[in-house]
Amino acid sequence: MFLTGRKASSSGDRSPYGSFWFEPVGMRSSSGIRVTADAAMRLSAVYSCVRVLAETFAVLPIRLYKRKKDGSRDLVTDHWLYKLLAKRPNDWQTPFEWREMMMGHLALRGNAFNQIVANRQGQITQLIPLHPDRTKIELLGGGGYRYAIAQPDGTTIRLSRGEVWHIRGLSSDGYMGMSPIQVAADVFGAGLAAQQYGANFFANDAKPGGWLEMTGKFADQAARETFKESWKKAQSGANRGSTAVLENGMKYHELSLNNGDAQFIETRKLSRSEIASIFRIPPHLIGDLDRATFSNIEQQSLDFVMHTMTPIAERWESSIDYNLLPEDEGIDIEFDFANLLRGDRAARATYYTSGINAGWMVRNEARISEGLNPLPGLDEPLRPLNMVEESEAPDEQAENDNGADDQVPQQDQKTKPTDARMTALAETAAQRVARKEAVRPVDESHAKYVMQVLSVSAEVAQTYCQQRASMTDAQALEALTSMAIKGTL
């Protein structure tokens, strides 16, 4: 038997017409609405917040670095963990889809689970997602625990801690993360109640009801019902808004909007703002531009990266390091926020200029950051002092260490320099060139350097560079010193 003639009102309706007995068990809110994660997703604000978190995290590139003894790190792309997280987490999901799903579980339910599938060498080959609603923790003796996963066929499988990768959100017991939907059930329940009220309001053509006044009375109950049905038929469906014809002195009184109806839009806005604050999402990212300006949107976007996405990335990085990597692996995991912090062209140009001029960034690094191919000769940092490459800069320290200036008698500084002082300066210059030859090839650029440092002609410098391969280091130093002495005369 199908029950008709009455519409199920809300999820709080326990009558045979309501859906109370057919809904999944969830958190009952003060508004009377049963709140579950799936029910909360019917709110546009909740869906928008979860989508912003999931998609923003899914686009972050993952980087693996191998730590070295001197503190530096090398980028690693041939590690099995990189292939797992950045290339193929399992047999049917792309890395973007998998991370988007896991982040959605974490944001909406406070937990994300994956079954770990490893080969005989102990390397993890697949991460199989487990739905948080079907995954529970069973405490064991001695403080241990295991995971119980309900299967679609009604059975339950149990996995040990080492077989499940569990990413927890904010937790009160250290075992399970707290679901934002359950913690703030009243906020989401109020939003669902306001949304349901609005749906019912507009289903009635956004008009309140009214009542009929008549001087007499109906002959019997059957006459009353007959008139009532004829009135509904004349004023509903396609006939809504048509002219009514009243008899026997009847008068129609239309009800006006009350204060609750008039404040409906404000209630929806307040609910949207509260939901955004729970997920720590700037309002403009979910379409709320009431208080947005050109100046504060940029700052809010920066705050979103610093105070929302950075803690999320740190939670993932520490969980990956603790659960998926051996202790002595020496691998660092990082999610790269460079793309989120790129800014406009003018801001990026200022950033690159500052780094290159200060010497902590090379020009090819800036090109790579902009998606351009590196060019030869742009891999060496510039000196801030005179903006020349480090290899081309004069070696002032060597001159100071030599102490040639200190050996010049006071009387010689007031008159023409002596031959001893000229020889000392020439030897210093020759030694500077010799040290440079120990760390760089003797090519055309080196000939230019020899010409500048020793004050010799281009032909002399070229001739020396061509003959350098047949000289010993001692012979080269002697030749450089001779060239330097001749250049100073």
Output the DSSP codes for 190-253. HHHHHHHHHHHHHHTTT---EEEE-SS--SSHHHHHHHHHHHHHHHSGGGTTPPP---TT-EEE
Per the domain annotation, does 65 fall within a domain?
yes
**Looking at residue 103, what is its pLDDT?**
96
Looking at per-residue pLDDT, the higher value among 384 and 386 belongs to 384
Per the domain annotation, does 214 fall within a domain?
no
> Looking at the structure, do residues 416 and 471 belong to the same domain, yes or no?
yes
Q: How far apart are CA 112 and CA 167, in angstroms?
A: 5
> Looking at the structure, do residues 121 and 183 belong to the same domain, yes or no?
yes
Decide if 446 contacts 436 (C-beta within 8 A). yes
Q: Rounded to two decimals, what is the model's pTM?
A: 0.62
Per the domain annotation, does 376 fall within a domain?
yes
Q: How far apart are CA 392 and CA 402, in angstroms?
A: 20
Q: How many domains does the chain have?
A: 3
Per the domain annotation, does 410 fall within a domain?
yes
> Looking at the structure, do residues 135 and 149 belong to the same domain, yes or no?
yes
Instruction: Please say if the pLDDT value at position 406 is more than 60.
Output: no
Per the domain annotation, does 412 fall within a domain?
yes
pLDDT digits 0-9 by tens, 185-224? 888 877 777 777 666 666 655 455 666 667 777 778 887 7
In which residue are the tokens 């707290």 written? 178
Least-confidence region, from 110-114, 189-193, 284-288 = 189-193
In which residue are the tokens 């839009």 written? 265
Instruction: Please say if the pLDDT value at position 36 is more than 70.
Output: yes
> Looking at the structure, do residues 372 and 323 belong to the same domain, yes or no?
no
Question: Alpha-carbon dihedral of residues 403, 404, 410, 415, nearest 10 degrees?
Answer: -160
Instruction: Please say if the pLDDT value at position 336 is more than 70.
Output: yes
Mean pLDDT of 295-304: 78
> Looking at the structure, do residues 275 and 354 belong to the same domain, yes or no?
no
> Looking at the structure, do residues 200 and 346 belong to the same domain, yes or no?
no
- Of 393, 428, 462, which residue constitutes the final position of a domain? 393
> Looking at the structure, do residues 327 and 357 belong to the same domain, yes or no?
no
Per the domain annotation, does 482 fall within a domain?
yes
> Looking at the structure, do residues 330 and 300 belong to the same domain, yes or no?
yes
Instruction: Please say if the pLDDT value at position 73 is more than 50.
Output: yes
Instruction: Please say if the pLDDT value at position 21 is more than 60.
Output: no
pLDDT digits 0-9 by tens, 422-456? 777 778 888 888 888 877 778 778 888 888 888 88
> Looking at the structure, do residues 22 and 169 belong to the same domain, yes or no?
yes
> Looking at the structure, do residues 319 and 351 belong to the same domain, yes or no?
no
Q: In what order do the strands lie in the sheet with 124-130?
A: 124-130, 111-118, 164-168
Per the domain annotation, does 244 fall within a domain?
no
> Looking at the structure, do residues 429 and 389 belong to the same domain, yes or no?
no
Residue 408 — very low, low, confident or very high, per pLDDT cuts 50/70/90?
very low
> Looking at the structure, do residues 169 and 105 belong to the same domain, yes or no?
yes
Highest mean pLDDT among 108-112, 200-204, 244-248, 277-281: 108-112
Least-confidence region, from 141-145, 230-234, 415-419 = 415-419
